[in-house]
Amino acid sequence: MNVEICVGRQQEGLFVEWQITHYSVLDSTNLEAKRMIQQQMIVQSKPTLHGTVLVAETQIDGKGRLNRQWVSQPGTGLWFTVILKPNLPIAQASLYSFVVAVSVAEAIRELYDLAVTLKWPNDVLLHGKKLCGILLELVSCTPSVYYLVVGIGVNVNQMLMEFPQELQEKASSIAIALGKTVDSMQLLSVILERLEENCSLFETQGFAPIRSKWKKQNCVIGQEVSVQIQGQTEYIGIVDDLAMDGTLVVRTADSIRTVVAGDVSLRTKEGNYTF
Ligand code: ADP
């Protein structure tokens, strides 16, 4: 199952040595990462997992938020998980969602010059369709020590008809946008570079520079959205801002609300709300 261990990367001035393992098939890269962490907690003498990267050719049980299915067909996308052991207090862990989304967007812009945008909290979209989903999970080792399990799924080389029918309206891939297939390992390498830089930026200068990068690329501020919590539409409003704690500030007809968890759907020209 586990076919090879490749590249450990270390550059002058940067602090992560990525240990990348390729798998032909996994239930889910996040599940495998969590199993590795559990194992490490049992055998205390094992080395740190910070910087471990698990890449799967396919996932048979890939998941998004709220246990939603993440479609990860063989060989078409970049399905991977990064394990990080942050130095910041656990209260700031959820802000890594933005660090990761910004890093993926920067890598895609840099390599392919595609005008990707960010939807709260951490979807990467292209022309309003989802190109990448991110699932951030936290595993506590002790009350103050924790790992972040960062699942990233990028649609790379799928053609439209390869997506299941129900996703064809709302998903896109880099190959669809460029009209040609690309090297997903090159994409992985640039995402990891940007992630390394942005983690360092966040950990040394706080959330402000990440927030500013996220705001420059976002597609929700100033837009009308419907806010759903556990699948139910709660209210409709205009997005005002991304707050310093990562919550979304939404102005409704009679109040200012903050979205801590949930989904926001953008209003389309036709007056519907997209995913
Ligand atoms: P959201 O950010 O919308 O909550 P998640 O990150 O939880 O989404 O991802 C799950 C949802 O994404 C699924 O319900 C499905 O609609 C959609 N989805 C699943 N697989 C893919 C894919 N490969 N590309 C784009 N969208 C997908």
- φ and ψ at 22, to 5 degrees? -100, 135
Report whether pLDDT(43) > 50. Answer: yes
Q: Compute the average pLDDT of residues 115-133.
A: 96
Q: For position 4, what pLDDT does the model report?
A: 43
Average pLDDT score over the chain: 92
Q: For position 2, what pLDDT does the model report?
A: 52
Report whether pLDDT(134) > 90. Answer: yes
- Cβ proximity of 44 and 78 under 8 Å: no
For the Cβ of 64 lying below 6 angstroms from any atom of ligand 1, the answer is yes
From 66, 69, 135, give the residue whose CB has the most ligand 1 atoms within 8 Å, as the site to mutate.
69
Other beta carbons within 10 angstroms of residue 122's beta carbon come to: 26
Residue nearest to atom 19 of ligand 1 (CA): 70
87/172: higher pLDDT: 172
* Residue 70 structure tokens: 């993440």
Q: Compute the average pLDDT of residues 177-184.
A: 98
Q: Compute the average pLDDT of residues 118-132.
A: 96
Residue written as token pair 């953008």: 266
Residue nearest to atom 25 of ligand 1 (CA): 171
Predicted TM-score (pTM) of this structure: 0.93
* Residue 13 structure tokens: 């001035």
Residue nearest to atom 22 of ligand 1 (CA): 71
Residues 6+ apart with CB under 8 A from 59: 25, 26, 27, 28, 29, 70, 72, 79
* Residue 217 structure tokens: 């690329």
- The letter for the amino acid at 189 is S
